[in-house]
Structure 1
């Protein structure tokens, strides 16, 4: 039996609560809360367009223009695809030294609803391609800057932008203070359920004090969230079958919708593989992935037969990395299971932080997701691709997933959403980091809130400049772009 010698040899030290608080307070002495305020771009800051070009070199070349087209929609969509740029900027920012499992790309569109194994809807982080242990501030800065950028993009006033951003970081700090008081297992079991989300929105809508416009906005947010949850419950493999496949010659096949969805039987790419070789590579990877699942889940998956595979474009930052959907069939043709297969690469944070302890990037993603999420997909797993230096991770597709449309959000509604995201990120960090030390570092005042809000304004302005440089690179022909996909 294989055993991790490093784990076996690890001696775990257990500090007292008083000692943990002292660690946080000492961190505040050498990295004051106000030090997070005055960010300016480094004098030797790399060309943001060049960083994107370097990422493009190993991506599917026919999809690179699609990625650029999605990033070109707005400064906010650009920010979604610019995790590598921000990782390079964060390396020079002050750090407390308090380490957690980072999401690595904790912008507000990477939070949403999905199903727990018990089929309950949870609100949580849902993208972990860049996950890595690192300073807790990195995720907070990425999240809060995303609210500033999204609020600016939605045309909010300066005061409204400030309030939305402040709400996200305040919720993080206040939630971490609560987690610091909780028993260890209570922190681990904490989760944001659909009922908790709705109760939060109902409480805001039912307030007797406050502005009537805000109460109306809260009521509308409650209605929209209920609609999102209702829709999420319909998003399963059977619904995906009706949208993504067609019945031909007695069997289901994934519909070709190029360039977004292309069945591998029709796929011609720059991978150096024929369509038949691509399909066989996915099938080989599938058998390997299945073999290393937990026994009960492996036996469950063995009841399904792999029927068809297609390349499917997803997200913004991920566009151009290899991503597939796999259609499986259980007892009959009305018993489908769709899996999503995504390529895992080194985290953008690994250029500036310690490299992952996991040799395979797919395992890094999966283990980070399991650490941060309150509940993870039963089919979450990883495997190596058949080609050298290609790694994959697997999970269910559309398993009751739901998300907000950021561009449709109004100030008060976005502020409520910011509070949910801030709490959720704090809960994810409290699972892997030390909530007592982090809470002691953050303190009871709003000093950290104010500092990160100011950082977010400065970073949003830099993001605007980067977006303009990116748009100019497209318009000049340096970068190719396809819009509307």
Structure 2
């Protein structure tokens, strides 16, 4: 469903916030908190669903992808959004749909620069984004907090106390957003210092934040050039290879990059398009990243300006969501993918408080792609390095941020009415996370027996 289709759906713009909240409160009669917090196992073959996704990826990268996913239960969870999506679709869900990230685990939040060069914190992965029940994002976040916390060796008692607090952070953020005007909700600007104060991050973590901010401020295209490039035998600047992760390849994208770059520019604002007219393409390399997206077609494009400075763009294949890709007999062609890049870009612009001005898309001969600036003041948290106080503060901040993103949709006031002001909601969502984490562990054990034996 596109943003335009959403605006003409069940919720009309002439309903007031009070009316929407009443609709949300009424939804509790259809789906109670207890029902929302219950997990009912689904009869499905986890390896079959994963194999259907693997068929969409580059075969030569699958061994490393399997190794990355096998590192821990949390890593496996990160790489198998299709399993939780399939399970969530079979649960009793609220009738409230909104724009969601679709993969809002704790590792998919991070720091990046706004167009005004301010350091922001927000969601940073939108490959699974679309319109679905709002609680899917919160459930995935809570399960990820539990699995990441267990991977860090935190005690069960502490995690059982934390999960309801994370749900509470989401609930309170949603409440605060509706104490503001519509325009104020549209312009949240998740600046790091403001956001962390709002979500009650302890001052004890100031040193961690200072380190992150200092590292982020050093990450720009010139830093990328120093780290990822070298000179070839003719003295020309080119990307350094590190096979199989980083390789010069001959495929549709690399062979037609000039044509695709021109098409991508047409998806941008006129001022950014004009800016890019001052750059020419110097090199392109296939460069795979992440866990869940590792194995898809990803590239780095090195651009050189008329003044000799550089800009590095990341091109990522815009696969259909895991919901589509995990279906039997799915053949991914440009006819199916042609709007996927636009879907991801549109959803990112809706859900983020501010987005990369270089965010755009184009369609290749057989695949669709989206484009963004690579590593520009971007920094992510190494969850394994967090102590307990830092971890719980970070988890609460992610939940607070998620609610801000959801409040960009017109149905967000229904969420406000549904969740209310009590802790009963928090406790039931936490209960779901504990139950579903057991499902993930079962799937992980099956995966290890099947793939890593």
TM category, shorter: over 0.9
Tell me how far apart the structure 1 counterparts of residues 292 and 348 of structure 2 sit (CA, whole Å): 18
Residue 227 of structure 2 is matched in structure 1 by 243
Q: Residues 219-368 of structure 1 correspond to what in structure 2 (within 5 A)? A: 219=204, 221-248=205-232, 249-263=234-248, 267=249, 275=250, 278-333=253-308, 335-350=309-324, 360-368=339-347
Tell me how far apart the structure 1 counterparts of residues 28 and 251 of structure 2 sit (CA, whole Å): 58
Q: Residues 54-69 of structure 1 correspond to what in structure 2 (within 5 A)? A: 54-69=52-67
Aligned CA distance change for structure 1 residues 365 and 350 (closer, same or farther; 3 Å): same
Contact 1:98–1:433, Cα closer than 8 Å, also in 2: no
Contact 2:49–2:326, Cα closer than 8 Å, also in 1: no
Is 1:374 the counterpart of 2:372? The answer is no
Aligned CA distance change for structure 1 residues 69 and 426 (closer, same or farther; 3 Å): same
Tell me how far apart the structure 2 counterparts of residues 381 and 247 of structure 1 sit (CA, whole Å): 29
**Runs (4+) of structure 1 moved beyond 3 Å?**
4-13, 197-203, 349-353
Tell me how far apart the structure 2 counterparts of residues 150 and 370 of structure 1 sit (CA, whole Å): 28
Residue among 411, 415, 427 paired with 1:434 = 411
Kindly provide the CA deviation profile for residues 138-177 of structure 1, in whole angstroms up to 9, marking residues without a partner as x.
1010111100111111111111112232222110011111
- Greater shift, 68-77 or 16-25, is seen at 16-25
Residue 183 of structure 1 is matched in structure 2 by 181
Aligned CA distance change for structure 1 residues 29 and 277 (closer, same or farther; 3 Å): closer
1:181 Cα deviation after fit: 2.2
**TM-score normalised per structure 1:** 0.86
Contact 1:380–1:395, Cα closer than 8 Å, also in 2: yes
Contact 1:167–1:418, Cα closer than 8 Å, also in 2: no
Aligned CA distance change for structure 1 residues 14 and 116 (closer, same or farther; 3 Å): same
Aligned CA distance change for structure 1 residues 198 and 145 (closer, same or farther; 3 Å): closer
SS of 2:402's partner is helix
- Greater shift, 300-309 or 402-411, is seen at 402-411
SS of 1:431's partner is coil
Aligned CA distance change for structure 1 residues 7 and 435 (closer, same or farther; 3 Å): closer
1:239 Cα deviation after fit: 0.0
Is 1:117 the counterpart of 2:109? The answer is no
Contact 1:25–1:441, Cα closer than 8 Å, also in 2: yes
Residue among 426, 443, 446 paired with 2:423 = 446
Contact 1:144–1:165, Cα closer than 8 Å, also in 2: yes
SS of 2:59's partner is coil
Kindly provide the CA deviation profile for residues 200-254 of structure 1, in whole angstroms up to 9, marking residues without a partner as x.
699623xxxxxxxxxxxxx2x3212210111011111000000001133342111
Residue 363 of structure 2 is matched in structure 1 by 384
- Greater shift, 123-132 or 427-436, is seen at 427-436
1:345 Cα deviation after fit: 1.2
Tell me how far apart the structure 2 counterparts of residues 363 and 397 of structure 1 sit (CA, whole Å): 19
Tell me how far apart the structure 1 counterparts of residues 4 and 19 of structure 2 sit (CA, whole Å): 29
Aligned CA distance change for structure 1 residues 324 and 203 (closer, same or farther; 3 Å): closer
**TM-score normalised per structure 2:** 0.92
Kindly provide the CA deviation profile for residues 331-364 of structure 1, in whole angstroms up to 9, marking residues without a partner as x.
243x1000000000111245799xxx99510000
Kindly provide the CA deviation profile for residues 29-86 of structure 1, in whole angstroms up to 9, marking residues without a partner as x.
11111112221312x2x21122111111121100011111110100000000010010
- Greater shift, 160-169 or 55-64, is seen at 160-169
1:25 Cα deviation after fit: 1.0
1:199 Cα deviation after fit: 4.2
1:292 Cα deviation after fit: 3.1
Residue 16 of structure 1 is matched in structure 2 by 16
Is 1:413 the counterpart of 2:390? The answer is yes
Residue 27 of structure 1 is matched in structure 2 by 27
**Cα RMSD (Å):** 2.3
Aligned CA distance change for structure 1 residues 398 and 8 (closer, same or farther; 3 Å): closer
Is 1:169 the counterpart of 2:146? The answer is no
Unmatched runs of 5 consecutive residues or more in structure 2: 328-335
SS of 2:256's partner is helix
Contact 1:325–1:341, Cα closer than 8 Å, also in 2: yes
1:27 Cα deviation after fit: 0.5
Residue 214 of structure 1 is matched in structure 2 by none
Tell me how far apart the structure 1 counterparts of residues 6 and 135 of structure 2 sit (CA, whole Å): 27
SS of 1:30's partner is coil
1:432 Cα deviation after fit: 1.4
Unmatched runs of 5 consecutive residues or more in structure 1: 206-218, 268-274, 477-485
1:407 Cα deviation after fit: 1.5
